[in-house]
Amino acid sequence: MTLFTRVAETQRESIVFSLDGHAATALAGDTILTAVLTQADRLRLSEFSHRPRAGFCLIGACQDCWMHTEDGQPVRACSTEIQNGMRLLSSIPGGVDE
C-alpha cells in the first residue's frame, strides 16, 4: 500500500534511490516525501513511539518528516528534493526501533 498516488506530471525524468536498502524510483523534482509515499505507507517510524509517521504539515513547519540517509545525515522529507542515488532510511540508525 502507498499513501500517495501520482496523478499528474508523470512524464518527468525517472530517477533511482533506495529506501531501507530496497531499490525505488521517483521522478526528478519530487520531494523526498513524495518519492517515499508513492512507494510506501509511511515515511519513518517515530524514534519515541515506534509508530509510523508520514509527515503532517507538508510545508516544513511541523518537523514530523525527518528521515536519515544511510550515512547518517538528517533530511526533512517535505522540503528536500530527492536526488538520483540517494540512500534513505525510514528509522534512525541506533534508535529504539533498530
Provide the binding-site residues for ligand FES, judged by CB under 6 A.
55-58, 60-65, 76, 78
Coil vs helix vs strand at 26: strand
Supply the minimum distance, in Å, between the C-beta of residue 82 and ligand FES.
14
Supply the minimum distance, in Å, between the C-beta of residue 46 and ligand FES.
13
Phi, psi of 10 (to 5 degrees): -80, -5
CA-to-CA distance for 95 and 91, rounded, in angstroms?
7
CA-to-CA distance for 26 and 12, rounded, in angstroms?
9
Supply the minimum distance, in Å, between the C-beta of residue 11 and ligand FES.
26
Q: Which is nearer to ligand FES, 42 or 76 (CB)?
A: 76
Q: Which is nearer to ligand FES, 16 or 39 (CB)?
A: 39
Contact status, residue 78 vs residue 57, Cβ threshold 8 Å: yes
Q: Which is nearer to ligand FES, 52 or 60 (CB)?
A: 60
